[in-house]
Amino acid sequence: AMQLIALTAVKHLALRRKVLFRGFRQTATMSTLLINQPKYSWLKELGLKEENAGVYNGAWGGKGEVITSYCPANNEPIARVRQATMAEYEETVNKAKEAWKVWADIPAPKRGEIVRQIGDALRKKIKILGSLVSLEMGKIYVEGVGEVQEYVDICDYAVGLSRMIGGPVLPSERPGHALIEQWNPVGLVGIITAFNFPVAVYGWNNAIALTCGNVCLWKGAPTTPLTSVAVTKIIAEVLEQNNLPGAVCSMVCGGADIGTSISKDERIDLVSFTGSTHVGKQVSLMVQERFGRQLLELGGNNAIVVFEDADLNLVVPSAVFAAVGTAGQRCTTTRRLLLQESIHDEVVEKIAKAYKQVRIGDPWDPSTLYGPLHTKQAVEMYKAAIEKAKEQGGTLVCGGKVIDRPGNYVEPTIITGLPHDAPIVHTETFVPILYVLKFKTEEEAFAWNNEVKQGLSSSIFTKDLGRVFRWLGPKGSDCGIVNVNIPTSGAEIGGAFGGEKHTGGGRESGSDSWKQYMRRSTCTINYSKDLPLAQGIKFE
């Protein structure tokens, strides 16, 4: 019996090590799950259980691989999710297409009312859902709650949008003719989201897509499946209360096989993908091959540029928040800090001092400012990037080490002395490493900002009004987000969110991003008894 126990222990340890490397482990005994511990009993208030169905299309299912979600702060198993099989994926797409026939007939303001109810339902569970984000993704509690708040905000925004969507009536050159633009929903929107914003990014897409008359099929990240399930349960209840097909907001938990199917599926009219540039390119090629629509939100290698006239009381907290927040795992995280040479040493000293005061701890502790990386792979990427930076001439100012505690904790790191075009500086590594570069002139700084392949977010700190408008102009920043005297991260929902170049070109959230979820028709209506042709052509 003792030999059997020892053998079992060895097997369990081997399995534990194997799946730790993959970021989440495949199995966990019921007794070890956090959801069964009194401290985490609140998870059940979100409708979560030890083993959860990972497919929703009006009914809950999941007959595929069972995966276990793990807490990045201690690498303990939270609960399990049954992923979708390909047969269940097929069933879900078919049900979503049928649900669209019902949803598209509902007037836009009525659809807006449903979205309003979704926002209200989320608002009621904002703290507990934010706690789940913190537990499963690893970001600090206030950021987890803030992420749910973004979904609530975009629901509010979408309600107003539901009475404003439309195109212009244009002047026709022909007598007795009307020229108008008609906007219609594309149909089924496939939404593939990333681990770092497991609620908000789906919210941006879902609220706007629904208001525009589309139905949604969501595949969240395989390492945050509990958040996907919990959010979908909240939405499903609203749809059920309004006697609407649940497949209006379908969900399938799965890995690359489901993502590939969504990308290649001609029944899916728009694929909205948020993730790495590498995977985004693969998605883009698959969607383009079938001439499908795509909305890409990919990586960013974002810079803050600080001129010698800048207010350092703004610079220091901005740089620290943008580089350290979410443990460097935002697509808008500041990865490059460009400092004019006259203030370089002073700013580095101030920021390094601020780094040492950042409170590291459990992400759900309200006093914590900095939590763990999401996976063990990210820790390895962090270590590898620091070694490469040293090899390429970088100097470690602070940080650089893995923290000796349970979970995936690393020290926020500052590296100086690298050339602006060092390979590691031009590599987006999703970890809290800040490369500090020294520049001389405005022209040089603007060029360095733009020389990376991505074009998501950017910010300058200056009091020079002329420089501000040069930065905003055609020879300034080439990014989709161009800020002045604020961080690169922390965008509001009212503006369009997205970037250029290898960031993908997609736009989500506010402004006229709704147009990406609709198709435009130019309509010419002849209400006369004559048939004049455009451009004065005579065909008699």
Positions marked catalytic: 297
Closest alpha carbon to 201 in 273, 282, 131: 273
Q: Distance between CA atoms of 424 and 386, rounded to whole angstroms?
A: 9
Q: Distance between CA atoms of 289 and 286, rounded to whole angstroms?
A: 5
Q: Distance between CA atoms of 266 and 239, rounded to whole angstroms?
A: 26
Closest alpha carbon to 274 in 537, 509, 23: 509
The token duo for 267 is: 């029944």
Contact by Cβ (8 Å): 207, 152: no
Q: Find all residues with CB under 8 Å of 536, minimum gap 6, and list them.
A: none
Backbone dihedral angles phi then psi of residue 81, each to the nearest 5 degrees: -135, 135
Closest alpha carbon to 248 in 52, 382, 106: 106
The token duo for 104 is: 């598209």
Contact by Cβ (8 Å): 517, 189: yes
H or E element at residue 27: none
H helices of 212-355, in order, are: 225-241, 256-264, 277-289, 312-324, 344-355
Handedness of CA 492, 494, 500, 506 (dihedral sign): positive
Contact by Cβ (8 Å): 257, 86: yes
The three-state secondary structure class of 4 is: helix
H or E element at residue 337: strand 334-340
SS3 track for 494-511: CCEECCEECCCCCCEECC
Handedness of CA 29, 34, 38, 44 (dihedral sign): negative
Backbone dihedral angles phi then psi of residue 249, each to the nearest 5 degrees: -125, 80
Beta-bridged to residue 49, according to DSSP, are none
Q: How many helices (H) and strands (E) does the chain have?
A: 14, 24
Backbone dihedral angles phi then psi of residue 238, each to the nearest 5 degrees: -65, -45
The token duo for 293 is: 């629509």
Q: Distance between CA atoms of 293 and 270, rounded to whole angstroms?
A: 5
The token duo for 501 is: 């170049």
Beta-bridged to residue 434, according to DSSP, are 414
- Burial-class residue 480 by CB neighbours within 10 Å (0-12, 13-18, 19+): buried
Handedness of CA 60, 209, 143, 500 (dihedral sign): positive
